[in-house]
Chain A
């Protein structure tokens, strides 16, 4: 009898733990892929950090086509994953469509925008223009030719938002600076074309650019490569990319997607939803990277100026215009 009891007890405990295990968080990576050395990789690093610290597990999937978005969301929701974290602006609409059908599941989206946020959805966005402003200042201070470049991935407002902050930062240091900007393409394939990225960079170099900022996902790998080959400086994006070409990557515009993912997973099913969350310089959601790979490239004066600007932005003394405000940029025409 006791044996049967303990057996039943064991079975019940197992069943319970199975339920517990089902409430694992899930991450859906966007088309760039988990290891794009940039945006999605930052999300993965955050999730991995959470898993290492808590010993927990998370579900994940890398999208391979546009059509999978809603399907992946539904599958994870059916499997009981909670919260479900999605990376990328393109997830906003699918999340909105799916969220209503699974009221007990919490959804988190990074980078997206919804005019009305459903009860169980948290939209996290970043003040990319503030971080880009700071790296724009660094670019302008480092540039000897008076020309700096910007290579965007897919031509979407978000990427113009990056470029706009960058242009404003560069102009704040040198009002006469020339800013060359190119977008890789108009389809999602633009996130994965390093060959075109490197050709664009070479074209910008021939126009005099000696610092190039890449906000282009996997395409950025080609930009940084071409900059290193040609002996100019480049600026990475999203993740810290300084290590890719030490001595050539001037700095990286950090977008702490990893922190957003980590915090979301830590909050788990109790995460506060039904609102938007904006992470800027004040929340350390964006910033610029300084480590042993690039400290020799940045002088103390450069860092002091950038730090002063950072504090001015946080305190509100300095306002960086957002491209979204009226879909145009005061400092640069795309």
Chain B
């Protein structure tokens, strides 16, 4: 495998890891506050549809992004009402959101565009275009570092940079601010937070809302950054891979970035079976590489590599007085 092939695979890794990273961070906020979220997939799908639809209708991808985030927030609010206010089962609410999104997107797409549950293909200002970072051209002549900068770091859409900047931002917010401390506490020991006179409900709603915004970004990136338009079920299980990455990352932001990059790398490798064959010496079925994220997660959960302990109050609705 030569240097350029490696760069190409890593480039593909970054593109494929971005939606996973957004969704993984979304799950991180929600689950750190004690709200399990199976519905990442559904929120992503809904946002993917509304961003593509609004971008197509108004010819502006930013409007599309706003619509995507708004639609994802609506589903997040639904999850919040069901699991925080009405103390329902968080898993069931999440599954319901996935079904709702899978059905609603196709239904609305059919009503609006009559193209069998897809949006028209997007072009020009209806899509996020790759950004060439300054000096990418001039520096590309520098050995090793030049191509890395020009090929790997430059030339992605803005959402990719937002995703990777969201990692230190999340770390700072969760571990260096008062809000973050309270948010984590509400996922570990909500009684203590309540005793201190801070609203458990409010904090949990805030976490769920942040989760909605991040899922909205993930969906918008899928349909207006990676692809050019929405087709039914286009999230294709990425929400679940993100959940697996969250467990793999033990609910920590930096680990989340490495986990999603690893999973993205595995997906990128699955596209290049020739390279894998060259390295290991025999033909590896690409479906095995596709399944590796799940296999790795099971290995982690089984306790072979460290221990993944979820937030203690996760999945439990908070009842003030029993």
Chain B interface size, under 10 / 10 to 19 / 20 to 34 / 35 or more: 20 to 34
Provide the residues of chain B in CB contact with A34, threshold 8 Å: 116
Whether a CB of chain B sits under 8 angstroms from the CB of A244 is yes
Across the interface, B286 reaches (CB within 8 A) one of A183, A193, A199, A244, namely A183
The CA-CA distance from A125 to B40 in the complex, in Å, is 41
Provide the residues of chain B in CB contact with A192, threshold 8 Å: 231-234, 236
The CA-CA distance from A186 to B285 in the complex, in Å, is 11
Whether a CB of chain A sits under 8 angstroms from the CB of B94 is no
Provide the residues of chain A in CB contact with B226, threshold 8 Å: 195, 198-199
Whether a CB of chain B sits under 8 angstroms from the CB of A222 is yes
Q: Which B residues between 108 and 141 are near A, CB-CB below 8 angstroms?
A: 115-118, 121
Q: Which A residues between 141 and 181 are near B, CB-CB below 8 angstroms?
A: 180
Whether a CB of chain B sits under 8 angstroms from the CB of A24 is no
Provide the residues of chain A in CB contact with B272, threshold 8 Å: 203, 207
CB–CB A185/B287 < 8 A: yes
Across the interface, A182 reaches (CB within 8 A) one of B228, B237, B271, namely B271
Provide the residues of chain B in CB contact with A207, threshold 8 Å: 272, 274
Whether a CB of chain A sits under 8 angstroms from the CB of B201 is no
Given contacts A33-B116, A195-B227, A203-B8, contact A180 B274 (CB under 8 A): yes
Whether a CB of chain B sits under 8 angstroms from the CB of A258 is no
CB–CB B231/A206 < 8 A: no
Whether a CB of chain A sits under 8 angstroms from the CB of B215 is no
* A contact patch SS: helix
Provide the residues of chain B in CB contact with A41, threshold 8 Å: 116
Provide the residues of chain A in CB contact with B191, threshold 8 Å: none
Q: Which B residues between 144 and 176 are near A, CB-CB below 8 angstroms?
A: none
The CA-CA distance from A188 to B15 in the complex, in Å, is 24
18 contacts between A and B (CB under 8 A): A33-B116, A33-B118, A182-B273, A186-B287, A192-B232, A192-B234, A194-B227, A194-B228, A194-B231, A194-B234, A195-B222, A196-B236, A199-B15, A199-B268, A203-B12, A207-B274, A221-B231, A225-B228
Provide the residues of chain B in CB contact with A33, threshold 8 Å: 116-118, 232
Across the interface, A221 reaches (CB within 8 A) one of B4, B15, B229, B287, namely B229
CB–CB A193/B234 < 8 A: yes
CB–CB B12/A35 < 8 A: no
Q: Mark B1-44, 1 if CB is under 8 A from A, else 0.
A: 00011001000100110000000000000000000000000000
Provide the residues of chain A in CB contact with B229, threshold 8 Å: 194, 221
Whether a CB of chain B sits under 8 angstroms from the CB of A123 is no
Provide the residues of chain B in CB contact with A257, threshold 8 Å: none
Whether a CB of chain A sits under 8 angstroms from the CB of B290 is yes
Whether a CB of chain B sits under 8 angstroms from the CB of A202 is yes
CB–CB B231/A218 < 8 A: yes
Whether a CB of chain B sits under 8 angstroms from the CB of A189 is yes
Whether a CB of chain B sits under 8 angstroms from the CB of A30 is no
Provide the residues of chain B in CB contact with A35, threshold 8 Å: 115-118
Given contacts A199-B12, A222-B227, contact A244 B121 (CB under 8 A): yes
The chain A residue with its CB closest to the CB of B271 is: A203
CB distance from A289 to the nearest CB of B (A): 19
The chain A residue with its CB closest to the CB of B12 is: A199
The CA-CA distance from A274 to B118 in the complex, in Å, is 37
CB–CB A195/B236 < 8 A: yes
Q: Which B residues between 193 and 238 are near A, CB-CB below 8 angstroms?
A: 222, 226-229, 231-234, 236-237
Q: Which residues of B contact A (CB under 8 A)?
A: 4-5, 8, 12, 15-16, 115-118, 121, 222, 226-229, 231-234, 236-237, 267-268, 271-274, 286-287, 290
The chain B residue with its CB closest to the CB of A222 is: B227
CB distance from B51 to the nearest CB of A (A): 14
CB–CB A189/B227 < 8 A: no
Given contacts A194-B227, A198-B226, contact A206 B8 (CB under 8 A): yes
Provide the residues of chain A in CB contact with B271, threshold 8 Å: 182, 196, 199-200, 203
The CA-CA distance from A204 to B290 in the complex, in Å, is 18
The CA-CA distance from A198 to B223 in the complex, in Å, is 12
Whether a CB of chain B sits under 8 angstroms from the CB of A62 is yes
The CA-CA distance from A154 to B222 in the complex, in Å, is 21
Provide the residues of chain A in CB contact with B115, threshold 8 Å: 35
Residue from the set B16, B227, B232 with the largest chain A CB neighbour count within 10 Å: B227
Whether a CB of chain B sits under 8 angstroms from the CB of A36 is yes
The CA-CA distance from A186 to B286 in the complex, in Å, is 9
The chain A residue with its CB closest to the CB of B222 is: A195
Across the interface, B16 reaches (CB within 8 A) one of A180, A185, A199, namely A199
The CA-CA distance from A182 to B4 in the complex, in Å, is 20
The CA-CA distance from A30 to B257 in the complex, in Å, is 38
Q: Mark A233-253, 1 if CB is under 8 A from B, else 0.
A: 000000000001000000000
The CA-CA distance from A119 to B245 in the complex, in Å, is 53
Q: A180-B274, A200-B271, A206-B4 are in contact. List 11 more A-B contacts (CB 8 A).
A: A35-B117, A41-B116, A193-B236, A199-B12, A199-B16, A203-B271, A203-B272, A206-B5, A221-B121, A221-B231, A225-B121
The CA-CA distance from A207 to B271 in the complex, in Å, is 11
CB distance from A332 to the nearest CB of B (A): 13
CB–CB A185/B121 < 8 A: no
CB distance from A156 to the nearest CB of B (A): 13
Q: Which 9 A-B pairs have the closest CB atoms?
A: A35-B116, A206-B8, A203-B271, A33-B116, A34-B116, A194-B227, A35-B115, A195-B226, A195-B227
CB distance from B164 to the nearest CB of A (A): 19
The chain A residue with its CB closest to the CB of B8 is: A206
The chain A residue with its CB closest to the CB of B290 is: A185
CB–CB B227/A225 < 8 A: yes
Provide the residues of chain B in CB contact with A186, threshold 8 Å: 287
